Amino acid sequence: MEQHPVPQNISSYEFRLVGDMTLKQFLQLAGGIVLAFIFFRLPIPVILKYPLVFVSAVTGAAMAFLPISGRPFTAWLTAFIRAVYSPTQYLWVLTPIEVASPPIVTPPPSPPQPSAPGFISFFKSRFARKASPPVTTAPAPPLPQPTVVTPPQPTPPPAPDTPAQPSPPVPPAPSPPPAVPQPAPTLAQPKPPVKIIDVPLTPAGPAPVASPPPPASQASPLPSIPSPDQPNVLVGQVNDLTGSPLSGVTLEIVDSTTGIPARALRTNRLGQFQIAIPLPPGSYVINAEKEGLLFDPVSVTVANSVIPPIAITAKPAISSQLIPDPLALSP
């Protein structure tokens, strides 16, 4: 794998002694030479002295001037020492993770704030339904009581002044005649109940019997439209009673075996229709529909062959007649 170039230090200035040699390179080279001189001066056997001197001098020069794969020799040596002393076997132990559930803090209930009078309250007060006053029932007026008529008392004539004659005895006052009760006002008698006469209804006639739908007619070929190039493709035209093409007629192609619609399309401005995807082999029924017109279902058999154009003609609509209501009574 190719190493990426080491980024250069552009934020600080490195002092250079001779040419491109920096102070760090000089110290690395000098350290290797000094270490080789120390090994040379030590009283050790010759078989160990000269190899150590050579290795020290070469290592110092390599650390200063020998980059490997774009990285300095010092980085390679440091990585080698770390790899030697680092563990080479790692063990993975499953430890459950302790998830501290956050405490559930319930906010204190906010005090209810008084509703300030505003436009909404004024609007509600304007359209609030006022309570209707209680209905008071006036008492019925009392019936007039019979009045007792008392005849006037007769006034006796004045007696002459006769001092010698005694006054005659006063006759007792006549008793009042008995009270004649007046007849009470007659109340309105309720009207006699209306007698309901049951009139037998005359049946209007036998109930209409629903006739079963006519069987689907076979598709008739249409010579004015060319036959399709692919088999199992339906092409045709929808005409009215006069032979003029009808546009916007909804056509539904239903599988006669399963009753599931296979295609649905509409006629163009010329009254023509054509499906783009061929139908699977089988028997199909074409149902046409347009407001104000009636069409007979057309049966088509698809058998992996070129199907000639199909002509569908509308039939006259049956005018609905008014049925007399059997419950209506003759005057």
Average pLDDT over residues 284-288: 93
> Per-residue confidence at 322, pLDDT binned at 50, 70, 90?
very low
Average pLDDT over residues 124-151: 61
pLDDT given at position 20: 75
The domain boundary residue, chosen from 85, 100, 123 = 85
Contact 280, 232 (CB under 8 A): yes
Handedness of CA 26, 31, 36, 42 (dihedral sign): positive
Residue 1 falls inside a structural domain = no
pLDDT given at position 89: 76
Q: Is the pLDDT of residue 305 over 70?
A: yes
Residue 60 falls inside a structural domain = yes
- Domain residues for the domain of 291 are 217-313
Amino acid letter, residue 282: G
Q: How many domains does the chain have?
A: 2
pLDDT given at position 2: 67
For the chain, give the percent of residues with pLDDT over 90: 27
> Per-residue confidence at 196, pLDDT binned at 50, 70, 90?
low
Residue 324 falls inside a structural domain = no
Q: Is the pLDDT of residue 287 over 90?
A: yes
**13-22, 152-161, 236-245 — which is least confidently predicted?**
152-161
Residue 8 falls inside a structural domain = no
Average pLDDT over residues 66-74: 86
Look up residue 188 and give its two tokens: 């309105």
Q: Is the pLDDT of residue 185 over 60?
A: no
Higher pLDDT, 207 or 67: 67
246: nearest Cα among 254, 238, 257 = 238
The CATH number for 229's domain is: 2.60.40.10
Could you tell me which residues come within 8 angstroms of residue 16 by beta carbon, excluding any fewer than 6 positions away?
Answer: 22, 23
pLDDT given at position 15: 64
Q: Is the pLDDT of residue 80 over 50?
A: yes
Per-range mean pLDDT, top range of 154-158, 320-324, 325-329 = 154-158
User: If 0-12 CB within 10 Å is exposed, 13-18 middle and 19+ buried, where does residue 226 land?
Assistant: exposed
What does the alpha-carbon distance between residue 273 and residue 250 come to, in Å, rounded to a whole number?
10
Residue 98 falls inside a structural domain = no
What does the alpha-carbon distance between residue 34 and residue 53 come to, in Å, rounded to a whole number?
10
The domain boundary residue, chosen from 63, 85, 107 = 85
Residue 258 falls inside a structural domain = yes
What does the alpha-carbon distance between residue 295 and residue 204 come to, in Å, rounded to a whole number?
32
Handedness of CA 42, 44, 45, 50 (dihedral sign): negative
Look up residue 40 and give its two tokens: 């040379």
- Summary mean pLDDT of the chain: 74
Look up residue 300 and give its two tokens: 């088509």
Could you tell me which residues come within 8 angstroms of residue 270 by beta carbon, excluding any fewer than 6 positions away?
Answer: 237, 245, 247
Average pLDDT over residues 229-248: 90
Residue 275 falls inside a structural domain = yes
pLDDT given at position 111: 73
Amino acid letter, residue 96: P
The domain boundary residue, chosen from 48, 68, 85 = 85
pLDDT given at position 177: 52
Q: Is the pLDDT of residue 168 over 60?
A: no
Residue 227 falls inside a structural domain = yes
Higher pLDDT, 96 or 142: 96
